[in-house]
Structure formats: C-alpha cells, structure tokens
Amino acid sequence: MADQWEFMSHTYDNCNCSVSCGCQFNEPTTHGNCHFAYVGTILEGHFNSTSLAGLNWSLLCKFPGEIADGNAERQIVIDERADAAQRMALETIISGEACEPLSNHFSVFGSLCTEFFETLFLPIELEVDLERRTARVDIPGVVESAGRPIVNEFNGEPFHIAIARPSGGFEFTYGEIGRGTTTVTGHLEMAFEDSWALFCVHHYDQNGLIRA
C-alpha cells in the first residue's frame, strides 16, 4: 500500500527575484537565475502513523539559470527535534519522492536538481505571520532571514498584495506577498536583499496539492 500522508505548513519563502517575481507568471526570472530559501512550520501533518505536527523544515535551492533549465543544487534542513521516523518522513516529503510526480513544488524542484547535498538536522528558529507578512529565521551556520510587508513609499502604510490560484498551480492556492532579506552560508552560499517574499500555506498529501 502506498504511503498515506498529509503536510500543512505555514511557510515563508524568499528568493532573489524582484517583488514582481516572473516565475509566478511563467515569465523569466529577474536576474536570469533563481536562488531561494523556504522555511516552514508544520501545523498539521503525518506520514502514515508518524506525526509531523510542530516540526520546522527548510528547502534551499540554487539554479544557475532559469528554473526550467534545471541543473540546480539542493539542500534540505530538518528540525533537530525530529526523531528518526520523523526525519525519514520529512526528508521523503521534501525531496518530492512521496507524491505523484510533479504534483507539488517539492517534486517539481526535486526533478530539476542535479546536485543533492546531505540533509542537515539542525535547530530551526522560525517566527512567521502570514497575515502580517512578517518572518524571522535563524538556522545556525546556514540561514538568516527576515521578511516584511511591502510599504507604500507615499504614505508609509503596508501594501496588502496577494496571489490567488484557485486552479492550475501545484504549490499554493493563496499567497501573501512581501519583501525579504536572506543570507545562506555553507554548501549553497547566496544572499539577497529586499527581494520577493511569499507567505503561504503549503497543504499537500500523496496525491499533490490539497485545494479544500
């Protein structure tokens, strides 16, 4: 019997594109390449009988060109609090190996990577508020990041900008948009400032994106 699982995460993503990230609209990237850091906290989840709720995770990727051209490097980081069964489950899900092919963003990105660094098990400190479009990340020796709303330069008020995808997508159905600043060290060195940030719910199971 195939694995039965569910994964619902409040997720913060920062990439090196401008806040009008072309990837969201099948357009080219801002700089001709894609570097990103996803960090999330699992609100509800299980892998068969193994609970995943309360654990944090991160996915780091570095594409030398456009995403569709592949040849990316990938690093997965899993909450050090996870036990052996939880570590195996999260690594399987985040690697994109636990679902129908290309049915969620983990599977899509996994299919486009050619270099896979060993998964890290580290403390992942994450504060994320989807509605306020704020985040703070600290993964010692690997990731430091902060997310914030886009601010209207004329009146100083936060813009409320979001993307809705009721059909056709494989990552989320609704995402809040802001700005982020990230530094990644280690195997995937990268840094970007005041660039695209996404605050969303990732809700998947073995069949792909859950739209309900």
Any idea which residue has 């040849």 for tokens?
71
How many Å apart are CA 210 and CA 11, to the nearest integer?
15
pLDDT at 23: 87
**Coil, helix or strand for 112?**
helix
Reported as a pLDDT band with limits 50, 70 and 90, residue 58 is very high
What kind and span of H or E run contains 111? helix 105-112
Cβ neighbours around 142 below 10 Å, total: 21
Nearest to 61 by CA among 97, 95, 24, 92: 95
What are the structure tokens assigned to 85, written together? 């069964």
pTM: 0.96
User: Which whole number is the average pLDDT over 94-100?
Assistant: 95
User: Which whole number is the average pLDDT over 27-49?
Assistant: 97
What are the structure tokens assigned to 7, written together? 């994964």
User: Which whole number is the average pLDDT over 83-91?
Assistant: 98
End-to-end CA distance of the chain: 25
Any idea which residue has 């989840």 for tokens?
45
What kind and span of H or E run contains 76? strand 72-79
Q: Is the pLDDT of residue 212 over 80?
A: no
Instruction: Round the average pLDDT of the chain to a whole number and report it.
Output: 96
**Coil, helix or strand for 209?**
strand
Reported as a pLDDT band with limits 50, 70 and 90, residue 155 is very high
- Residues in the chain, total: 212
User: What string of DSSP letters covers 7-45?
Assistant: EEEEEEEEESS-SS-GGGGT---SSSSEEEEEEEEEEEE
Cβ neighbours around 194 below 10 Å, total: 13
Reported as a pLDDT band with limits 50, 70 and 90, residue 1 is low
Reported as a pLDDT band with limits 50, 70 and 90, residue 120 is very high
User: Which whole number is the average pLDDT over 67-91?
Assistant: 98
Nearest to 128 by CA among 176, 74, 64, 60: 176
User: Which whole number is the average pLDDT over 204-209?
Assistant: 97
What pLDDT digit, counting tens, does each position of 40-55 carry? 999 999 999 999 999 9
Nearest to 7 by CA among 57, 54, 46, 38: 46
What are the structure tokens assigned to 61, written together? 């990727």
pLDDT at 90: 98
